[in-house]
Structure 1
Amino acid sequence: MYLPPQFAAKDAAIALELMRAHPFASLISTDDDGLPFVTHLPLHLVEEGTASQDIVLLGHVARPNPHAKILLERPRAVVTFMGPHAYMTPRVYPDLARVPTWNYLAVHGTVHATPVESFDDKDRLLKHLIHDHDPAYADQWRGLDQDFQHKLMRGIVAFELKVTDLQCKVKLNQHRPESHAAMHAAYAAGNPDEQALAGWMRRLGLAV
C-alpha cells in the first residue's frame, strides 16, 4: 500500500492489536484472468515468535469458493485488516486554505498459504475461531454427531497463512500538528469510529 514515512507504524505491536481487534479481513489473490479475487473472512492470529515473519493466520473458505483452488495453485496472497476510520473536516485547521481527508488505521500482510487437511487439524482451527467469536458455542460444537462434524469439515477448505511481510499504516494527520487539538475534540465527541481514532491520538501523543 502507499505508505508515506509519517504514517508508517514504528511499533509492530500496533499491527497485531489491530488484527486482533478487527479480525474480519480481506484475503486477496490473483485469479486466472490476472484480476484480484477477494474473499472476506475472519482470521485467527497466532504468534510463533517476535518477528513479523513469525505470525500465522488461520482461516477457511467454503469448498465451492474459487479462492480455495486459487490458493492451492498460487499460495502467495495478501490479507488486509481495516481498523477505525473516519472523515476529517478541514475545519480543524486554523486557516482556510485546506482540504478534507480521511484518517484510518490499516494492516496489509503478504502471506503464503498452506492447506490444513486432516479432521483434527481443521477441528483445532475452528475451535480457535469459535473461541475468538462465540466461546459459548464450543460445547455445542463438541456435542455434534461425529458423522455430521465430518460432513461439515468436508464442506470447507482451511488454510494456514504464514505472514512473510507486514505493513501497518496509522494515518492521523501526524504531519499537521496545527490540526490536532481541534481534530481530537471533534473525534472524541463523534461516532464509535471517531472516538476510537481519538483514543489512538491520545496513545500516540497527538492529543494535547
Structure 2
Amino acid sequence: MYMPPQFNAKDPAIALDLMRSHPFASLISNDDDGLPFVTHLPLVAERRADGELVLLGHCAKPNPHWRYLQARPQAVATFLGPHAYLSPSVYPDLARVPTWNYLAVHCTVEARLIEEPMAKDALLKKLIGEHEPAYAQQWRDLGEEFQHKMLAGIMGFELQVRALQCKVKLNQHRRESHAAMHAVYGAGTSDEKALAAWMERLGLMADAPAAEGR
C-alpha cells in the first residue's frame, strides 16, 4: 500500500495488536481468470515459538477461494483498525482540507491448506479458544457425527506471513492539529475514541501545543 514514511509503523507489536484486536480481515488472491478474489473472514494471528507469524482461518467448502489458494498459494490479507473523518477545523489556519485517519495492516502470505479432519478439528478448537472458549464444551457435546459433518463443510488454512506493512495515519506530521484532533476524537464515536487512544499510545500528545479557543 502507499506508505509515506511518517505513517510507517515499524514496531511489530503494533501490527500484531491491530490484527488481534480487529481480526475480521480481507483475504485477497487471484481467481482462475487472473482477477482479484476477496473473502471477508476472521483470521487469528499467532506468533510461533520460532518467531514465525501465521494467520489461521477457514472458509466454506463451496467458496472457491480455497481452490485458488491451492493453485496459487501467494495471497494478501488485510486488516483495518479504527478509522474516522478528520475535519480541517482542527488546524489553527484556514488553508486546510479534510482527510481520513486510519490504522491498517497488509500481510503478504503463503497459504497451506488444512484438509485432514483431525487437523481441521484442532484448528477449530484453537479458533474457538480465541473467540469463545465457553463454546468448546458445546462443540464437544454435539457428537462425532455432527462434528464430522461440520468439518466436511469447511476448508482450513494456515497463512504464513512473508512480509508485512503497518500503516498508522494519525496526522503525525501536523503537530499543530494534535490537541484539537485529540479533543474531537476523544468525544466522538467508538472509532474516534480508539484513534484518540492510539494518539496517546504513540506519544503524539506529549508535545502537542494547546488548542486555541477550544
TM-score range, shorter chain: over 0.9
State the percentage of identical aligned residues: 68
CA distance in 1 between counterparts of 2:132 and 2:89 reads 42
Unpaired runs of 5+ residues, structure 2, are 209-214
Aligned amino acid, residue 38 of structure 1 = V
Q: Which residue of 1 aligns with 2:123?
A: 125
The aligned runs of 1:153-168 (5 Å cut-off) are 153-168=151-166
Distance in 1, matches of 2:85 and 2:26, equals 22
Partner of 2:94, secondary structure, is: coil
Query: Does the Cα contact within 8 Å between 2:66 and 2:113 map onto a contact in 1?
Result: no
CA–CA distance in structure 1, aligned partners of residues 189 and 45 of structure 2: 28
Shift of residue 33 of structure 1? 2.0
Which residue is equivalent to 1:86?
84
Tell me if structure 2 keeps the 8 A contact 1:81–1:108.
yes
Residue 138 of structure 1 is matched in structure 2 by 136
The answer for the alignment partner of 1:43 in structure 2 is 43
SS in 2 for 1:3: coil
2:45 touches 2:55 (CA, 8 Å); kept in 1? yes
1:24 match:
24
- Give the CA deviation at 1:10: 2.4
Structure 1: which 5+ runs fail to align? Answer: none
Deviations 1:63-116 (A, max 9, x none): 110101101101100000000000000000000010000000000000000011
Partner of 2:112: 114
Which residue of the other structure, out of 98, 101, 106, is the alignment partner of 2:99? 101
Quote the residue 2:183 is aligned against: 185
Query: SS at 2:46's partner residue?
Result: strand
Query: How many pairs were matched up?
Result: 206
Shift of 1:123: 1.0
Most deviating of 168-177 and 139-148: 139-148
Conserved 8 A contact 1:44-1:128: no
Instruction: Give the superposed CA RMSD.
Output: 1.1
TM-score for both structures, normalised by structure 2: 0.94
Deviations, residues 127-169 of structure 1 (Å, cap 9, x unaligned):
1211222221110001111121111111111101000001100
Deviation at 1:50, TM superposition (A): 6.9
Give every structure 1 segment of 4 or more consecutive aligned residues whose post-TM-superposition deviation is greater than 4 Å. none
Residue in structure 2 matched with residue 3 of structure 1 by the alignment: 3
CA distance in 1, matches of 2:35, 2:164: 22
Cα distance between partner residues in 2 of 1:75 and 1:147: 32
Contact 1:90 1:99 in 2 (8 A): yes
TM-score by length of 1: 0.96
CA offset at residue 27 of structure 1? 0.3
**C-alpha distance in structure 1 between counterparts of 2:119 and 2:170, whole Å:** 41
C-alpha distance 116-102 of structure 1, shift in aligned 2 (>3 A): same
